Structure 1
């Protein structure tokens, strides 16, 4: 009986695998677009088609459960890994809204987690495209195609991968003492998942509040990535200097989070600790900042196409370190903010001093 069931399904698979492969690609791209449109940033999306050997094993283990390929709901599988636990539900709501769910084969396995059960379980949906999409030419040939979508946080995924690698399929298979260790670790991971979400929420709350603090009491606002980003985005002085700088370079301005993070370290290196420290030095050195930037871009054979908003702060730091007229100090400044070749570091340190001396001599 098992052999009779096996051959027709595999023959069907061989005939339809091309369509399923295209369906996998289409649904992966669709989910990426839907997440982008809804401003949901996830860690990763992976998609796969079940290979023939894996399908053969599944059918063999099913004890005659399957008689046709369309009864097997995971020929196409997608895994969405979120950064935070609560984003699992956000992605789930999007999937429920944009796809037709196979309720019978979909399950929120998190609801099945026993209080003493070790490990993390995931949210699984079996979906197909809704009629509104199937009516479009690009999706019309995927009528009847289903996909299994698995959604879990990055910590849940970490647990599941390690647990899978150990090869134990149930808690009864784990020795009792080791099972206790699994349970303790599962609890720690669950707490970590919740705490990361709280930290994220606290950072967002701080970012919303810090702008008002900058306006009211800039001398009390310490320089960190959130406060610096808020200051750069709202400071008329920064905007004025940035625009003068790009008038010489011809570059476009774009916000760059990595640049802002790097600038926090540079500003602290220069002895600036609060937002008011930045504002004071920018006002004091406006002329030198712009003049040095002008010299830099006029000397470059190939100017940059894009610069980060807040580029004037980089030139402020260059002015401050060069004003010491200490080559060793400038070297330490350059060395602390790059992974350049030593020869390039030396050249940059020399250039910072050179452009500064040229600017003050004008």
Structure 2
């Protein structure tokens, strides 16, 4: 205990150093985490450990978890990725490290962490790094909260209930990782279909619309509109328009392309009526898509209510949207495509 008190400042410094290094490197490697925890074992906790297992330790250096860190990932396969990064950063004491995921015990789900005993390269003080998923972490916390441990003797019906729940969570952990892989493959397929021009085969979604925007489908219309006042185009996100396009019943990227082709000239004419009497020389990149949507509503007799619905989706429901819709209708009232 005297050794511990003397080394406590070094232990706290080591804890902060390793924590900061791991957080930075994992962020650089784009590993999404639920969290990183670190702690230095308290004096009372160490005293309790020595009372229970003191005969195992000859000196303070034999206690490998005075400094402990826990890295919590969202996915099971990211645990292995974190482990590979830890192996590169630190010296791992393989004789004292353990992969509890290989225990395969029915009640062990909450303890299926990967435990590495490490040292800084050239360092002497050991520290423990636990790696587990968020579901494993939650399960372990629940077990601790309700006082259940796998070694505790409980009636068979209670142990069976815990085993069933642990099995469900373990299955969910695996399925989340599998689903992420499936979604990654799907996004790659969508990107390939978009680049090849097979737009009718791609359902309209956030991912597919984002890939479609990389083709800059509204650039030509924007350039025509900007030429009215020799304006500069200011970058803006077009993703908020996805909900508007979906409200029009567009299901595929092919539908979006036809929507553009069929309404571009009307959107340009609407822009002319709005800009010709102004000296605006800076326009948002969303001008073309916004006027495509507004022209579509006007062509289909949506009137003020339809225009307001578009503005509500784009800007949220607010009092000024109806006034804006009335102004838009007034500006477009003389255009031949407007359905009365």
TM-score over 0.5 (shorter chain): yes
CA contact (8 A) 1:322 1:353 kept: no
Compute the displacement of 1:272 (Å).
Answer: 1.9
Compute the displacement of 1:81 (Å).
Answer: 1.4
Alignment correspondent of 2:200 = 219
Structure 2 runs not aligned, ≥5 long = 336-340
Cα distance per residue 1:210-240 (max 9 Å; x no partner) = 233333431232201221122112x132455
Alignment correspondent of 2:109 = 119
CA contact (8 A) 2:97 2:115 kept: yes
1:105 is paired with a residue whose SS is: coil
Compute the displacement of 1:199 (Å).
Answer: 1.5
- Provide the C-alpha distance between the structure 1 equivalents of 2:109 and 2:33, rounded to a whole number of angstroms: 22
Q: Quote the RMSD (CA, aligned, Å).
A: 3.6
In the alignment, structure 1 residue 163 sits paired with structure 2 residue 143: yes
Alignment correspondent of 1:195 = 175
Cα distance per residue 1:115-145 (max 9 Å; x no partner) = x3353311111111114xxxxxxxxxxx323
Give the TM-score normalised by structure 2: 0.78
CA contact (8 A) 1:119 1:182 kept: no
In the alignment, structure 1 residue 49 sits paired with structure 2 residue 40: yes
- Provide the C-alpha distance between the structure 2 equivalents of 1:317 and 1:65, rounded to a whole number of angstroms: 74
Compute the displacement of 1:336 (Å).
Answer: 5.3
Alignment correspondent of 2:246 = 268
Alignment correspondent of 1:351 = 324
Structure 1 residues 227, 61: CA separation in 2 closer, same or farther (over 3 Å shift)? same
Cα distance per residue 1:31-51 (max 9 Å; x no partner) = 123223333222222222223
Alignment correspondent of 2:166 = 186
Given candidates 305, 328, 332, the residue that maps to 2:305 is 328
Give the TM-score normalised by structure 1: 0.74
Compute the displacement of 1:96 (Å).
Answer: 1.3
Alignment correspondent of 1:91 = 82
Structure 1 residues 119, 239: CA separation in 2 closer, same or farther (over 3 Å shift)? same
Compute the displacement of 1:155 (Å).
Answer: 1.7
Larger radius of gyration: 2
Compute the displacement of 1:269 (Å).
Answer: 1.1
CA contact (8 A) 1:319 1:356 kept: no
Compute the displacement of 1:52 (Å).
Answer: 3.0
In the alignment, structure 1 residue 277 sits paired with structure 2 residue 252: no
Alignment correspondent of 1:146 = 126
CA contact (8 A) 2:304 2:325 kept: no
Structure 1 residues 287, 312: CA separation in 2 closer, same or farther (over 3 Å shift)? closer
**Structure with the largest fraction of helix:** 1
CA contact (8 A) 2:36 2:69 kept: yes
Cα distance per residue 1:336-361 (max 9 Å; x no partner) = 567x5x6xx12244335535754787
Structure 1 residues 210, 75: CA separation in 2 closer, same or farther (over 3 Å shift)? same
Alignment correspondent of 1:137 = none
Cα distance per residue 1:142-195 (max 9 Å; x no partner) = x32332111111222221121121112224433210111111122212221222
- Number of residue pairs matched by the alignment: 321
Given candidates 230, 242, 256, the residue that maps to 2:211 is 230
- Provide the C-alpha distance between the structure 2 equivalents of 1:50 and 1:352, rounded to a whole number of angstroms: 64
Cα distance per residue 1:45-96 (max 9 Å; x no partner) = 2222223332332233223434543332222222111111111111111111
Structure 1 residues 39, 60: CA separation in 2 closer, same or farther (over 3 Å shift)? same
1:43 is paired with a residue whose SS is: strand
1:250-261 equivalences in 2 (<5 Å): 250-251=234-235, 260=239
Compute the displacement of 1:315 (Å).
Answer: 5.9
CA contact (8 A) 1:241 1:290 kept: no
CA contact (8 A) 1:101 1:128 kept: yes
